[in-house]
Amino acid sequence: MTLQQRLHNSQWRSLLSGADNIYFAPHIPIKKLQGAMTYISAAIRPQDIVMLIDDTVFGSAKDGLCLTETELFFKEGFGEAYQFLFMQIQRVEADLGIINHGLLINGTHTLNFSQLDKGTVRALAGLLNELCQPSKQQQQTQTHQKEKVQLNVMHYLFAYFITYPTGKWSEASRMALTDYFAKLKNPDVNQSIAYLIQQPLYTDYEDLLHGLAELKVEMSYEARMQMIESLVYVMALGQIDQEQAQRFMIQLCRVTGVSPAVWADLVDAVYGGMQQDGQHAGVPLTDEQNQACKLLDISPEQLSEQSLQTAYRKKMAEFHPDQYQQLPEAVRQLIEQQAQQLNQARSILKDYLNT
């Protein structure tokens, strides 16, 4: 949906349409457009203007405000002209004085009007706040683009780690990466990986770390933790030395803002788990072990050191003392009992994996 369409559908338009000096395309007088063009960028054509406010006494429109699809232009009488991209505007507030009234942009820039009353300025602030928020379609597009960038950086890191010992693709590394992502059952991701493994390697590790650091603000803490765990697993698939994997993990924690203390035994668990993954194939679990899997939400077929640690950490996060310390004593005791059951289930399954 274009900004002009959003402007047409806005609840604020009817309030502003009643003002004598506010005009909306395609019903903006030519003389008004000609006056406004004196303070608007030369790259803008008159037909690009979707809304115009004439803030002059005699109607020349050489002072005031204009909106295009992407920008806001403003000129105050005897003042400088200002230009704002909508993507730069976070908030707009009505700044109501005794004589003049204006708009406060992002808390720093004031646009003063001499010909608008308080009610009109309030409505204008409401309109601009609405227009400066991305449309639902734009939000979805932006979200998709962010997710695509995140996937690209992570995919390149996966490729870097799985080919680290040799620095080049092999049939074994291609198959290992393809098999790893096939488990996610995401057609878009699988297609991206299929393309990636046919391309030359991106080997600038420092650049990848920089890209990862930029994504930090876009990813939740939990998502960053899961990403690091996946990267360590790929290091093991790529047969990176365990001590080197530990150093890589600490770097990844640093650039993503994740505490390395959270992962004190992650590398040991992943590398140890991969060595033991094949040891229990075909060995049936006892009823007690199956119950432990059920309690931790682990499929017996997927039981490994890594899956056990991930499931246990996820479950125990629900029982952090800060979340229930204000509850009645009886409820706290029940929650503590549940946490103890999780500890016992973990112990049972660790014993099974270590036999």
| pLDDT exceeds 70 at position 58 | yes
CATH code where residue 79 lies? 2.30.29
Same domain flag for 95 and 212: no
The residue-averaged pLDDT of 253-276 equals: 76
Between 184-188, 276-280, 345-349, the lowest mean confidence (pLDDT) is in 276-280
pLDDT at position 21: 95
Same domain flag for 123 and 178: no
pLDDT at position 46: 94
The pLDDT tens digits for 125-148 are: 999 998 887 644 454 444 444 444
pLDDT at position 136: 45
Whole-angstrom distance, CA of residue 65 vs CA of residue 125: 12
Same domain flag for 267 and 285: no
Within-domain flag for 146: no
Number of domains in the chain: 3
| pLDDT exceeds 90 at position 297 | no
Within-domain flag for 48: yes
pLDDT at position 43: 84
The pLDDT tens digits for 62-103 are: 999 999 998 999 999 888 899 998 888 888 999 987 777 899
The residue-averaged pLDDT of 151-163 equals: 81
Same domain flag for 128 and 93: yes
Same domain flag for 218 and 316: no
Same domain flag for 24 and 117: yes
Within-domain flag for 140: no
Strands (DSSP E) contained in the chain are 22-24, 51-54, 64-67, 71-75, 81-85, 92-96, 101-105, 109-113
Same domain flag for 104 and 160: no
Within-domain flag for 201: yes
Within-domain flag for 143: no
Q: What angle do CA 194, 195, 196 make, to 5 degrees?
A: 95
| pLDDT exceeds 50 at position 278 | no
| Pair 61, 119: CB distance under 8 Å | no
| pLDDT exceeds 50 at position 342 | yes
Same domain flag for 188 and 221: yes
Within-domain flag for 139: no
Full residue range of the structural domain in which residue 227 is found: 151-276
pLDDT at position 324: 65
Within-domain flag for 200: yes
pLDDT at position 145: 44
- State the chain's mean pLDDT as an integer: 82
Among 276, 292, 310, the domain-final residue is 276
The pLDDT tens digits for 97-126 are: 777 789 999 888 899 999 999 999 999 999
Same domain flag for 300 and 225: no
Tokens of 254: 């640093």
Q: Predicted confidence band at 315 (pLDDT cuts at 50, 70, 90)?
A: confident
Among 250, 276, 302, the domain-final residue is 276
Same domain flag for 27 and 125: yes
Among 258, 276, 294, the domain-final residue is 276
Between 200-214, 274-288, 306-320, 323-337, the lowest mean confidence (pLDDT) is in 274-288
Instruction: Kindly report the pTM of this predicted structure.
Output: 0.42
Within-domain flag for 35: yes
pLDDT at position 34: 95
| pLDDT exceeds 60 at position 232 | yes
Same domain flag for 290 and 222: no
| pLDDT exceeds 90 at position 27 | yes
In angstroms, the Cα distances linking 175 to 85, 137, 272 are: 47, 37, 22
CATH code where residue 345 lies? 1.10.287.110
Beta carbons within 10 angstroms of residue 175's beta carbon: 11
pLDDT at position 281: 47
The residue-averaged pLDDT of 247-253 equals: 90
Whole-angstrom distance, CA of residue 19 vs CA of residue 8: 16
pLDDT at position 185: 67
The pLDDT tens digits for 169-199 are: 888 888 878 877 776 667 777 777 787 788 7
Whole-angstrom distance, CA of residue 230 vs CA of residue 339: 26
Same domain flag for 125 and 9: yes
| Pair 66, 87: CB distance under 8 Å | no
pLDDT at position 146: 45
